Amino acid sequence: MSIIVKEIKVKKALSKSGLPEYDYALNPYLGCQHGCIYCYARDFTKGEPAIKWGEVVYVKVNLIEVLSSEVKGLRRGVVGLSTITDPYQPIESKYRLSRRALSLLCDSGFHVSVQTKSALVIRDIDVLKQCGEMADVGLTITTMSDSYKLIEPNTPPPLVRAMTIRKLAKAGVKTWIFLGPIIPGINDSRLNYEPIIRLAKETNSQLIIDRFRPRETAVRLMRTKLNINPVPTNNWWRRVVGELTQLCDSYGVNCITEEDEWRSRRRNNSILDYLK
Ligand code: SF4
């Protein structure tokens, strides 16, 4: 898919994260080429990249310059890279903002938690190894089947993501898998979860699971593009969590829900301690 790229300058690099698991969020891009149907990030993005989600991406070309002066005066903590975009979407191969930010943040004493669907993160294994315990990488894998094309039409295939996490784990990078969102009728079967749990076992990755949370745009796109109207009830979620927990236990995989993760990190005085 062709993409319109616009370069912009920003005054701030890090923002306070709205997610309890992070202290800061770093989003080098506004908009995301991956254009997932269920994406919540577009609801937290303003202007053209939100309206033309998946078609327009703004690049914060002065990000590293701003970040390097910003970090000098900030309390150390955990940075989510990224929270409303994929930091390793294809244009990162040209701009290398995520790579440079990762290196700068680790060198400055910040822990960086990367989340992506892209194999491009492998390019930065050298930086991740230098970061050591100050970095972790999560790959989002919602399914290992071809049904991913319905909900994540412009992303790398799940087999590529699996290869990515294997390479990272082999290099000694701390890895995790985000199995979410789990959407009723799309990826909520044992057939769907089991290969992902096996991958988590193989790569010694924690598995974080999360349910689909209906938001207006995502629901509308599912209705118009997929002709479905998923309703994630509490009973449905209890059934899914029960099945997943049982499977994770049988494989010996550390498996938690997104809510568990928030609670667990809140209980700890230091998020950095939790990540160790
Ligand atoms: S990769 Fe993430 S940020 Fe990008 S469209 Fe998909 S869900 Fe949204």
pLDDT band at 2 (very low <50, low <70, confident <90, very high): confident
Q: Is the pLDDT of residue 34 over 70?
A: yes
**Per-residue DSSP letters for 104-165?**
HHHHTT-EEEEEES-GGGGGGHHHHHHHGGGEEEEEE-S-SSTTHHHH-TTSPPHHHHHHHH
Express as a percent the part of the chain with pLDDT over 90: 89
pLDDT band at 259 (very low <50, low <70, confident <90, very high): confident
**Rounded average pLDDT over 211-215:** 93
pLDDT band at 267 (very low <50, low <70, confident <90, very high): very low
Q: Which of 26, 117, 222 to mutate to test the pocket of ligand 1 (most atoms within 8 A of CB)?
A: 117
The half-sphere exposure of 127 on its side-chain side, counting CA atoms within 13 A, is 23
Task: Give, using CA atoms, the residue closest to atom 8 of ligand 1.
Answer: 39
Kindly list the strands in the beta sheet with 14-16, ordered across the sheet, starting from the edge strand earlier in the chain: 14-16, 24-26, 78-81, 111-116, 135-140, 174-182, 206-211, 255-257
Q: Is the pLDDT of residue 269 over 60?
A: no
Q: Show the beta-strand stretches assigned E in the chain.
A: 4-8, 14-16, 24-26, 29-30, 56-60, 78-81, 111-116, 135-140, 174-182, 206-211, 255-257
Q: Is the pLDDT of residue 90 over 70?
A: yes
Quote the tokens at residue 66.
């701003």
CA of 42 to the centre of ligand 1 (A): 8
List ligand 1's pocket residues with C-beta within 6 A: 32, 34-36, 39, 41, 85-86, 117
- The string of pLDDT tens digits covering residues 98-112 is 999 999 999 999 999
Burial, 52: exposed, middle or buried (Cβ in 10 Å; 0-12, 13-18, 19+)?
middle
CA of 166 to the centre of ligand 1 (A): 22
Domain ranges for the chain: 4-275
- The string of pLDDT tens digits covering residues 170-200 is 999 999 999 999 999 999 999 999 999 999 9
Kindly list the strands in the beta sheet with 4-8, ordered across the sheet, starting from the edge strand earlier in the chain: 4-8, 56-60, 29-30
Task: Give, using CA atoms, the residue closest to atom 7 of ligand 1.
Answer: 39
- 69: three-class secondary structure by DSSP: helix
CA of 73 to the centre of ligand 1 (A): 31
Can you identify the CATH homologous superfamily of domain 4-275?
Answer: Aldolase class I (3.20.20.70)
Which of 254, 120, 159 shows the shortest CA–CA distance to 200? 254
Ligand 1 atom at minimum distance from 116 CA = 1
**The predicted structure's pLDDT at residue 263:** 58
Q: Is the pLDDT of residue 231 over 50?
A: yes
- The string of pLDDT tens digits covering residues 238-250 is 999 999 999 999 9
CA of 240 to the centre of ligand 1 (A): 23
**Rounded average pLDDT over 6-30:** 95
- The string of pLDDT tens digits covering residues 138-165 is 999 999 999 999 999 999 999 999 999 9
